[in-house]
Amino acid sequence: MARIFRLSVEVYPPSETRPHYCVEAFQTVRTARSERVLHFGFNDAFTPEDVDYLEDTIGMMLRGLLHRTIGIQERLEL
């Protein structure tokens, strides 16, 4: 079975070169090159609001990706 899409989320902890958490999300649709679709940072400590924001943001990205790939494919098959 061929892959329709892949969504990967990477979270990097603070380091000497980066004083905050770094969040990056990449999406790959079918065999296209991976594309960074999200990049942002949080202060050195996540708050509950930060976690809620991250969950909401990733959820919206996933919903959009599902609609653009699987949703369109299902409509084309009708």
**Which structural domain range is residue 71 located in?**
5-77
- Kindly tell me if the per-residue pLDDT of 1 is higher than 60: no
Q: Name the pTM for this structure.
A: 0.66
* Rg from Cα positions in the chain: 15
Total tally of structural domains belonging to the chain? 1
CA 66 to chain CA mean position, Å: 12
Residue type, 42: F
Summarised one tens digit per residue, pLDDT across range 24-71 is 889 888 888 888 888 888 877 778 888 898 889 888 888 888 888 877
